[in-house]
Structures are given as structure tokens and as C-alpha cells.
């Protein structure tokens, strides 16, 4: 079976990889000249990398870890000490750590919380633990039902101190969803908490040893092409053409630089584009269908990724840090945390600015000036002193619409990978899967899409296939359930 996939983010690439494993022929068509979508990265004129986002991998990412193991690249993850580190807004430069001991879950996380006395009092810890009990005991169904409440509403209903929100959940909410806890669905943070409480190494963090484009996406592409599939850059999907019965007839690819448009036909078609692009490209004939109408309930959230190169070393901390500032979310000194970005003498801070809705239209200079002010609090020993650290250069990467905005009630709008159109499927971290808008969610969604395609009765009943059977050495295989 020949499958045309629009989008070479992690979802599209994962879908193609698992179709290859099942003996099929994916053709991936990516609009940009770079792989990876939200994990895309580029090199500047000095040979320094800059990225769409600072990306942390978690122990609770089973599908990502499995994919990397299948590609033989799991050693590219640089696992850090099992600890979560927070800045303290009222104590500039002082850090608060949740060191997670190497004992079974959930005791490891509980011990780390009990041992930390900087952020929560004992009374707050006890009330927090009691409030959390239903989420742990009643499982994912309860967690899904809580999608009607924002995190702050849920905390209030559980009688949990507002300070837990300002101290812990602002950091977690901004890091996971790029919005604040008064806006975020409680389902998101409770899902993440549950994973961390149920898996011994769930909250353990790893960084990739280089750029995601080269070190993660390219090996997936190599695997796809070695298996007879194709991945093409600069091939933007312009239109989804339909047969009279409403099924997909072809993908029309916009010709760039004066080239004519191209028509791609296949046995099945996948959109692995972001939900915002899919909404624009939904054919008029599908717009009245409730399935596609639901997509209007989803929208990408703005976020900004900053790179600041300094003339000296600011820290030797080899870990992700939660800034707990109003402007910034998480950050890391990539000259320490990432092998390929290593510099023994000078720091490169990568920082996520979120929520970014008030900043996305501001100039790079304004954004950097505000960030430098924040750094005085994060690194008081290096800024606002007689000999402050000098900013050598910076790069600002704005994404006006990134992962879907995870406000209350959004779970009901997240679509299945299977659509009412028998030869058309969806993939992407916004589609329904249990790992939210994350790299893990993208990889899992791609796998689920491949599984749905392979097991589709409609496709297996096709009288003829456009599959070139010489292009793959394997016979098509059914895929097991996940
Ligand atoms: C700043 C930032 C930080 C993040 N940090 C983390 C983190 O620490 N951990 C984590 O797990 N996740 C993180 N994420 C989220 C993670 O990057 C995403 O959830 C994941 O990469 C989404 O993958 P996707 O394939 O679903 O979508 P996308 O990456 O959006 O892929 C969609 C692809 O479709 C392509 N496309 C669009 N239009 C067309 C068209 N017309 N024709 C063809 N192709 C088209 C796009 O160019 C893109 O390549 C972060 C994201 C950002 C932005």
C-alpha cells in the first residue's frame, strides 16, 4: 500500500516508520526545507545550532524510547541526575531541588517532595497529598473527567492551598503547555503527575546529544528510505482533491520557485500537519461533518524559544531548570547539557518564553531586553555587577501556533486518527492519545495512525493497489494493538 503523508514532524515520520515495518510504502511530503516541525533546528553562520524549542525527554516516554531503540540511537539520549530544579522568585540565584531517590514509584517522588522544605510547608504537603488521592486512586477516567476544570479551579475544589499553584503548578503548567494554571486544563497536569507517580524513572529527564533534526529525525528518514519509502522537503500540500464519493483522490503539492503544481496519488492519505493547517486545508465537502467541525475547537498556542550566547560560563548545572518567573518557563545551559553544543568556557542559555501571547508580536530586541532583566534574578552573581556577563549574540525563534492550546474542555475536540473518510487519516500530537502535546504524543499518534491504516478493512479490500511491490522487501503485515 502506498501512503502519502503530509508533514515531516515527529508524527508524520513515526507514522512512515511504522508503515515501513508493516511492509508498506510511505511518501512523506514536508512543506519546509527542514525536518522535524516543532523540533526543527538550524545552524547559524558560525555553525551554532538554534532550535524551535528547548526539548526535554522523560523516562515516561515509552514510545519515543522504543522508537529510538528500534533505530539503534537510544545512546543519543543523555540522561541527567533524577532531580527537578526550581528557581526561587524571592531568593535570587538560590535553587530548590526535588532529588528523587532510586527507590520504587511512587515512594521515590513522595520522598523527594517530603524532603523539600523550600517550596511547601508540611501542612501544604499533607493537604496536597490528600487532594491528589482521587487522581491516583480513581485513575485516568477521573483525570479525563477533570478536563472541565482549570488547574486552579481543581486545586480550589480539592481544598489545596493557592500557594501550591503559584509555587509548583505555574512552573509545570508553563513547561508542559506554555500557559498558566488558571488557563490550563487540570487533566493535563494530573496526567503528567500520574505518570511521574506510577513510573520509577518517569520524571527522569534526558537531553538529546545534538540537534533533533540531525540526531533524531534524520535517522528516522534513513530508516524510511532504506525500507523503500520516500521523504521529500519543500513539498507543501496545497489541496486535498476528492472523488465524487468524498474520499481522497489525490494530494496537490504546490510547485515552488515557478515549478508547476504536482499531483500525488496513493492508496491512502495522512495529514500529519498541525491542526491549524489541517483546518485551512479541510476540503469544503468535509466541512459540514461533525468530525472535521470539531477541529475548530483546537488552536495552536504561541511560544518563543530564546538562545543567548555569553562571553563566560554562567553555571555548571547539567539539568533543565524551572525559572518560576512570569516571563520565562524552563531553561538550560546547553553548553553543559548537550554534547554537540558543549563549550567549556562560554554559556549558551536556551530559554522558553511562555505564555507568549503578549510577546509574540514584539521585536527581538524588546524580548531580549526583558529576558536579560530576568537573568539578573536567575544569575545575580553574573548580572547587575561591576563586571557583568556580556551577551555575544542571540537568536529568537517565534512559533505563533505550536501545540494545541490545552484549556479546559479541549479533550472533547481532539480527533481520533481514524476519520469518517475511509482513505484519509490524521496524525499529530493534537490527535487523541494519552501523552498530550509532546514529542511522545507525536510519536505515539504516528504509530496509532500506521496501525489504523494497516488494519483498515476498507483499504485491505481495495481491488488494486498503487503499491510498487518491488520497492519493499517485506510482505504487508497486520499490526498488533498497542
Ligand atoms: C518551544 C517548544 C518546546 C517544546 N518542548 C517540549 C519538550 O520539552 N518535550 C516534549 O515532549 N515536547 C515538547 N514540545 C512539543 C513537541 O515539539 C511537539 O508536541 C511535537 O514535536 C509535535 O509533533 P507533530 O508531528 O505532531 O507536529 P509538528 O511538529 O507541528 O509537525 C507538523 C509538520 O507539518 C508540516 N506542514 C505544515 N503545513 C504543511 C503543508 N501544507 N504541507 C506539508 N507539510 C506541512 C510542518 O512544517 C511540520 O513539519 C515543545 C514544543 C515547542 C514549540
What integer is the mean pLDDT of 296-317? 97
Q: In a mutational test of the pocket of ligand 1, which residue from 254, 279, 304, 439 has the highest number of ligand atoms less than 8 Å from its CB?
A: 439
* Closest atom of ligand 1 relative to the 35 alpha carbon: 49
What integer is the mean pLDDT of 234-260? 97
Report pLDDT digits (tens) over 154-213.
Answer: 988 988 877 777 778 889 999 999 999 999 999 999 999 888 888 999 999 999 999 999
Contact yes or no for 400/360 (Cβ under 8 A): yes
- CA–centroid distance, residue 39 to ligand 1 (Å): 6
Q: Is 164 or 397 the better-scoring residue by pLDDT? A: 397
For residue 429 and ligand 1, the question of a CB distance below 6 A is answered with yes
CA distance linking residue 169 with residue 192, whole number of Å: 12
Cα 111 from chain centroid (whole Å) = 29
pLDDT of residue 386: 85
For residue 237 and ligand 1, the question of a CB distance below 6 A is answered with yes
- Residue 191: count other Cβ atoms within 10 Å of its Cβ: 21
Q: Do 2-40+211-299+405-460 and 303-399 show the same overall fold?
A: no
- The radius of gyration of the chain from alpha carbons, rounded to an integer in Å, stands at 23
pLDDT band at residue 138 using 50, 70 and 90 as cut-offs: confident
- CA–centroid distance, residue 8 to ligand 1 (Å): 9
Which of 151-165, 238-252, 266-280 shows the lowest mean pLDDT across its residues?
151-165
Q: Is the pLDDT of residue 140 over 90?
A: no
Q: Where are the domains of the chain?
A: 2-40+211-299+405-460, 82-87+96-203, 303-399
Q: Is the pLDDT of residue 480 over 60?
A: no
**Which CATH number is associated with domain 2-40+211-299+405-460?**
3.50.50.60
For residue 55 and ligand 1, the question of a CB distance below 6 A is answered with yes
- Inter-residue long-range contacts of 143-149, CB under 8 Å, 24+ positions, other chains counted: 143/187, 143/190, 143/191, 143/194, 144/187, 144/411, 146/185, 146/186, 146/187, 146/190, 147/185, 147/186, 147/187, 147/408, 147/409, 147/410, 147/411, 147/412, 148/408, 148/409, 149/185, 149/186, 149/408
What integer is the mean pLDDT of 268-291? 98
Please state, in angstroms and as integers, the Cα–Cα distance from residue 300 to each residue in 8, 17, 398, 405, following that order.
Answer: 18, 26, 13, 5
Which pTM does this prediction carry? 0.95
CA distance linking residue 479 with residue 451, whole number of Å: 6
pLDDT of residue 161: 77
- CA–centroid distance, residue 440 to ligand 1 (Å): 11
Report pLDDT digits (tens) over 423-436.
Answer: 999 999 999 998 88
CA distance linking residue 261 with residue 333, whole number of Å: 44
- Nearest partner of 142 among 154, 153, 130, 152, judged by Cα: 154
Q: Is the pLDDT of residue 457 over 50?
A: yes
pLDDT of residue 473: 36
Q: Is the pLDDT of residue 11 over 70?
A: yes
CA distance linking residue 429 with residue 449, whole number of Å: 11
Reported in sequence order, the residue ranges of 400-482 that DSSP labels E, i.e. its strands, are 424-426
Question: Judging by DSSP bridges, how do beta strands 268-271 and 262-264 pair with one another?
Answer: unpaired
Q: Is the pLDDT of residue 471 over 50?
A: no
CA distance linking residue 445 with residue 429, whole number of Å: 6
What fold, for 303-399? Answer: Polyamine Oxidase; Chain A, domain 2 (3.90.660)
Reported in sequence order, the residue ranges of 119-233 that DSSP labels E, i.e. its strands, are 205-208, 230-232
pLDDT of residue 472: 35
Report pLDDT digits (tens) over 44-101.
Answer: 999 999 999 999 999 999 999 999 999 999 999 999 999 999 999 889 989 999 999 9
Q: Is the pLDDT of residue 123 over 80?
A: yes
For residue 417 and ligand 1, the question of a CB distance below 6 A is answered with no
- DSSP assignment of 270-313 equals EE-S-HHHHHHHS-GGGTTSHHHHGGGG--BPPEEEEEEEESS-
Q: Is the pLDDT of residue 12 over 90?
A: yes
Q: What DSSP state is assigned to residue 412?
A: G
Report pLDDT digits (tens) over 408-427.
Answer: 999 999 999 999 999 999 99
pLDDT of residue 479: 58
Cβ-count burial of 367 within 10 angstroms (0-12 exposed, 13-18 middle, 19+ buried)? buried
CA distance linking residue 212 with residue 462, whole number of Å: 38
What integer is the mean pLDDT of 433-447? 95
Q: In a mutational test of the pocket of ligand 1, which residue from 37, 39, 272, 331 has the highest number of ligand atoms less than 8 Å from its CB?
A: 37
- CA–centroid distance, residue 343 to ligand 1 (Å): 28
Q: List Cβ neighbours of 90 (8 Å cut-off, separation of 6 or more).
A: none
- CA–centroid distance, residue 454 to ligand 1 (Å): 24
CA distance linking residue 343 with residue 48, whole number of Å: 11
Q: Percent of the chain scored above 90 by pLDDT?
A: 80
Contact yes or no for 480/29 (Cβ under 8 A): no
The string over 199-210, giving b where at least 16 C-beta atoms fall within 10 Å of a residue's C-beta and e elsewhere, is bbbbbbbbbbbb
| DSSP H or E stretch at residue 139 | helix 139-145
Beta-bridge mates of residue 237: 253
Amino acid at each position: 500500500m502506498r501512503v502519502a503523508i503530509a508533514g515531516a514532524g515527529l508524527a508524520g515520520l513515526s507514522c512512515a516508520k511504522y508503515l515501513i515495518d508493516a511492509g508498506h510504502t510511505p511518501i512523506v511530503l514536508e512543506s519546509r526545507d527542514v525536518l522535524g516541525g516543532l523540533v526543527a533546528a538550524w545552524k547559524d553562520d558560525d555553525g551554532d545550532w538554534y532550535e524551535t524549542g528547548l526539548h526535554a525527554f522523560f523516562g515516561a516516554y515509552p514510545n519515543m524510547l522504543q522508537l529510538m531503540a528500534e533505530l539503534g540511537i537510544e545512546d543519543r539520549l543523555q540522561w541527567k541526575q533524577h532531580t527537578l530544579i526550581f528557581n526561587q522568585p524571592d531568593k535570587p540565584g538560590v535553587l530548590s531541588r526535588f532529588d528523587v531517590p532510586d527507590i520504587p514509584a511512587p515512594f521515590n517522588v513522595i520522598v523527594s517532595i517530603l524532603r523539600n522544605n523550600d517550596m511547601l510547608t508540611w501542612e501544604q504537603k499533607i493537604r496536597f497529598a490528600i487532594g491528589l488521592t482521587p487522581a491516583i486512586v480513581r485513575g485516568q477516567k477521573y483525570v479525563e473527567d477533570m478536563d472541565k476544570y482549570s488547574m486552579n479551579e481543581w486545586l480550589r475544589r480539592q481544598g489545596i492551598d493557592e500557594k501550591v499553584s503559584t509555587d509548583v503548578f505555574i512552573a509545570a503548567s508553563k513547561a508542559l503547555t506554555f500557559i498558566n494554571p488558571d488557563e490550563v486544563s487540570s487533566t493535563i497536569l494530573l496526567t503528567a503527575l500520574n505518570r511521574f507517580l506510577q513510573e520509577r524513572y518517569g520524571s527522569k529527564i534526558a537531553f538529546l546529544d545534538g540537534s533533533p533534526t540531525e540526531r533524531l529525525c534524520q535517522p528516522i528518514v534513513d530508516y524510511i528510505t532504506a525500507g523503500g519509502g520516500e521523504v521529500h522537503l519543500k513539498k507543501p500540500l496545497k489541496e486535498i482533491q476528492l472523488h465524487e464519493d468524498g474520499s481522497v483522490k489525490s494530494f496537490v503539492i504546490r510547485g515552488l520557485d515557478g515549478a508547476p503544481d504536482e499531483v500525488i496519488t496513493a492508496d491512502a492519505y495522512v495529514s500529519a500537519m498541525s491542526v491549524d493547517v489541517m483546518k485551512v486545508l479541510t476540503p469544503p465537502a468535509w466541512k459540514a461533518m461533525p468530525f472535521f467541525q470539531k477541529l475548530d475547537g483546537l488552536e495552536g498556542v504561541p511560544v518563543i524559544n530564546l538562545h543567548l550566547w555569553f562571553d563566560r560560563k554562567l553555571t555548571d548545572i547539567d539539568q533543565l531548570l524551572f525559572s518560576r518567573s512570569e516571563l520565562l518557563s524552563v531553561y538550560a545551559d546547553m553548553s553543559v547539557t548537550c554534547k554537540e553544543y558543549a563549550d567549556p568556557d562560554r554559556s549558551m542559555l536556551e530559554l522558553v518564553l511562555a505564555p507568549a501571547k503578549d510577546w509574540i508580536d514584539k521585536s527581538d530586541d524588546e524580548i531580549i531586553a526583558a529576558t536579560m532583566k530576568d537573568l539578573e534574578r536567575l544569575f545575580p552573581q553574573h548580572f547587575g555587577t561591576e563586571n557583568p556577563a556580556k551577551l555575544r549574540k542571540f537568536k529568537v525563534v517565534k512559533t505563533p501556533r505550536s501545540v494545541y492550546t490545552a484549556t479546559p474542555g479541549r479533550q472533547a475536540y481532539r480527533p481520533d486518527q481514524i476519520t469518517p473518510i475511509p482513505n484519509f487519516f490524521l496524525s499529530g500530537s493534537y490527535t487523541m492519545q494519552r501523552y498530550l502535546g509532546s514529542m511522545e504524543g507525536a510519536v505515539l499518534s504516528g504509530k496509532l495512525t500506521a496501525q489504523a491504516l494497516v488494519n483498515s478493512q476498507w483499504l485491505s479490500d481495495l481491488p488494486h493497489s498503487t503499491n510498487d511491490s518491488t520497492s519493499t522487501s517485506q510482505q504487508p503485515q497486520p499490526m498488533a494493538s498497542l
